[in-house]
Amino acid sequence: MLPNPLHPAVVHFPLVLAFLFPLFAASGFLAIRRGAAARRAWLLPSAFAIAVAGSAWLSVETGETQGKRVERVVGEQPMESHEETAEAFLAMAVAVAAVAAAGLVRGFTGQAARMLTMVGSLALMGMAIRVGHTGGQLVYRHGAASAYTAKGGTVSTPPTRGNEDEQ
């Protein structure tokens, strides 16, 4: 069964992956510098970049789906700030993934793409901090979670099948 709301459950994936990405990019880069075949050593960093972009896309999609409900609680300005930052993170993640994939190419183009990926992975980490900060403000400063709670603080989700006895 999927959690409701889904956005808070999936939003942590791109943030964590963005923080790990520089380590994977650096590892691939160092393996190449130590003599490993560039294409083989760069497969994992490329796949990791695609995972960051894919999880960022999923986070943006779930945020858009659930955003109107939260906007009624927190207001338009904080939501727009978070949405714009998240969309910028997604755009940057897609761009870095494309550059990382170009790192699989031989010669100067691949070498330049791998260097740009290293820089891009650090920039993504910085953007992840900004997105996480604006999302945290929605929850902890503006009370976004209250969009999913009823009076009394109980979560307003229907009971799941098979566990009616537990409630």
pLDDT (tens digit per residue) in 28-41: 999 999 999 999 99
Q: Is residue 24 part of a domain?
A: yes
**pTM to 2 decimals?**
0.84
Q: Give me the pLDDT at residue 150, please.
A: 63
pLDDT (tens digit per residue) in 50-72: 999 999 999 999 988 888 888 88
State the total domains in the chain.
Answer: 1
Q: Is residue 2 part of a domain?
A: no
Q: Is residue 159 part of a domain?
A: no
Q: Is residue 164 part of a domain?
A: no
| CA dist 167 → 76, 151, 158, 162, 163 (Å) | 36, 18, 11, 11, 7
pLDDT (tens digit per residue) in 88-145: 999 999 999 999 999 999 999 999 999 999 999 999 999 999 999 999 899 888 888 8
- Yes or no: say if 93 and 60 are a contact pair by the CB < 8 Å rule: no
Q: Is residue 97 part of a domain?
A: yes
- Yes or no: say if 64 and 90 are a contact pair by the CB < 8 Å rule: no
Q: Which two tokens stand for residue 112?
A: 């330049």
- 134 CB-near residues (< 8 Å, 6+ apart): 78, 81, 82, 85, 86
Distance, CA of 138 to CA of 151 (rounded, Å): 19
Domain that holds residue 27: 7-148
**Which band of pLDDT confidence, cut at 50, 70 and 90, is reported for residue 20?**
very high
Which residues pair with residue 149 across a beta bridge? 155
